[in-house]
Chain A
Amino acid sequence: MTDLASAGLRPARARAIPRGSDPGTAGDVRRGQAILVVLAGAVRGRLGPWLVPLALLAAWQAAARAGLIAPSVLPAPTDVLAAGWKLILNAQLLDNIAVSARRAFSGFLVGGSLAFALGLANGLSRLSERLTDTTIQMLRNIPNLALIPLVILWFGIEEDAKLFLTSLGVFFPIYINTFHGVRTVDPQLVEMGRSYGMGRFDLFRRIILPGALPSIFVGVRYALGIMWLTLIVAETIAANSGIGYMAMNAREFMLVDVVVLAILIYALLGKLADSAVRVLERLCLAWHPAFQRS
């Protein structure tokens, strides 16, 4: 793209010379403008969201290569990549990613489905809400990471501990948003459905669930963030496998590049999960004006 831009610049530079201005400066200004135009195009295009992360990466690489950052503090991205490649080759990295991903999603599945079921139940039934909502709201206000000492006493550092913590973390955002979604379904639509003879099941499947879906998706996206957060902390404190464990282990041996690699992988996995939900959102909420392409 830069080649194209500078190719387009030549006539402009030629015109600038007779005017008597310094050809070099004028050319630089033009070239700067052209780069700006290309950049603006990129921002609008598909690459737009990735520009800032890529620029940060480039700046980091440059600073590391120039010796501005000591390798013991923050190794260059290329070194981190090299460390990653080495770990891929001895199968450690992929194993650890698989272990972490499995933990994350089993926690999400267990906590998420419990939260979804309770959110629906409490949204649909006043009795169920009276019985359980207060309890859930009290539990919600306990920071789940504060439970780690207790969880270690209960479950040790086995899989159960991680499953418990991630399930708990995922539970509340999904519960609250499902509950809220069901409660805010347009009562006029429900009345319409009743007047057209929909039974309880039809009413739920055709009006209440689709009406609550946008709110449920908000809960899922929020829950995914909490899922990674909880898992990272759980893995760094008490684990013998997984990316968090890999990072802690690397710290013991002063392998800064592996620690940084672990952090970057968490960022990528988080982004991946979020993107997957956004795709799902686009598919399920195609009717929603907010998701329609103009």
Chain B
Amino acid sequence: MPASSPSIAAREHGPRGVAIRIAGLTRSFGDNQVLKGLDLTVPPGQFLAIVGRSGCGKSTLLRILAGLDRPTGGDVALTAEAGRVASARIMFQEPRLLPWASVLANVEVGLGSGRRAPGARQQALETLSAVGLLQRAGEWPSVLSGGQKQRVALARALVSRPGFLALDEPLGALDALTRIEMQALLERVWLDQGFTAVLVTHDVGEALALADRILLIEDGRVTADIGVDVPRPRRRGSVTLARLEEDILRRIVGPSVSPDYDI
């Protein structure tokens, strides 16, 4: 796909993204308040990255968005375009494939109860082909490499064509080269399908390679909201990206070095 803006690409296929609106979101585990009144609006089809230190609450936020956890207080609303179901899928840091199911059957898990519908197998095969693993459809997951397993997990997440994809550091455990490949694959399927994506990551470079917008979360609150207005496909190591990366890294690690930072 050329350097067209994502919103245009999504429009070509009809917008499928889910809009997210969060107001005053709190989540506590016992006495420990992890999210402290968080407000956020994500327009349909946006690729949002959330960065922050370990334990800042970014994963908790993502799990709440994906429906794996419930907020203690506040509102979370995922709304789809009229006539569509606001379906959410999550991709974990580990592939979490069923070792006793073939690669294809693992992708079919993503279809939920619709996996027995006519055409379901075809849909699974097409998604598998989109992640480049069609020829491995009949194999056990245990013979795949780490990157291939994560591609199967991506196919499983995408096969039901969700309106929202939550990504919990899905590339964290991969080697550097496989990571770059997977980032390109993620960008391609996102441009192609136009879902709303929220990526939690430690890697600011990865956030900049993929996201329209980067959110910095510190101590349970949003402390920076940065638009990344760089055309796609983005060139790794471009000066603009490098400046942005430095800027964001300084905000994350900066306070201890220079206490007078502002946003």
Contact = CB atoms under 8 A, between A and B. Distances in A.
B68 interface: yes
B96 interface: yes
A134 interface: no
Contact of A289 (B89, B90, B112, B142): B142
Contacts of B66: 195
Contact of B92 (A192, A288, A289): A192
Majority secondary structure, A binding face: helix
Given A195-B67, A206-B98, A292 B110 contact: no
Q: Using C-beta atoms within 8 Å of the partner chain, give the interface range for chain B.
A: 20 to 34
A195 B68 contact: yes
Contacts of B141: 287
Nearest to A213: B100
Interface string A6-31: 00000000000000000000000000
A285 B66 CA distance: 33
Given A197-B112, A210-B100, A287 B140 contact: yes
Contacts, number: 49
A196 B142 contact: no
Contacts of B109: 192-193, 196, 198, 206
Contacts of A159: none
B254 interface: no
Given A188-B92, A196-B109, A197-B113, A288 B99 contact: yes
B91 to A, nearest CB: 10
Nearest to B142: A289
B126 interface: no
B96 A192 contact: yes
Nearest to B166: A195
Contact of B100 (A196, A287, A292): A287
A189 B140 contact: no
Contacts of A292: 140, 142-143
A41 B142 CA distance: 31
Contact of B99 (A191, A193, A196, A287): A287
B25 to A, nearest CB: 19
Interface in A161-198: 188-189, 191-198
A208 to B, nearest CB: 11
A287 B141 CA distance: 8
A239 B230 CA distance: 87
Interface string B81-116: 000000001101010101111000000011011000
Contacts of A104: none
Contact of B94 (A188, A195, A211, A289): A188
Nearest to B96: A192
Contacts of B92: 188, 192
Interface string A204-227: 001100110100000000000000
Contacts of B67: 195
A274 B225 CA distance: 64
A288 B91 CA distance: 24
Interface of B: 66-68, 89-90, 92, 94, 96, 98-101, 109-110, 112-113, 140-143, 156
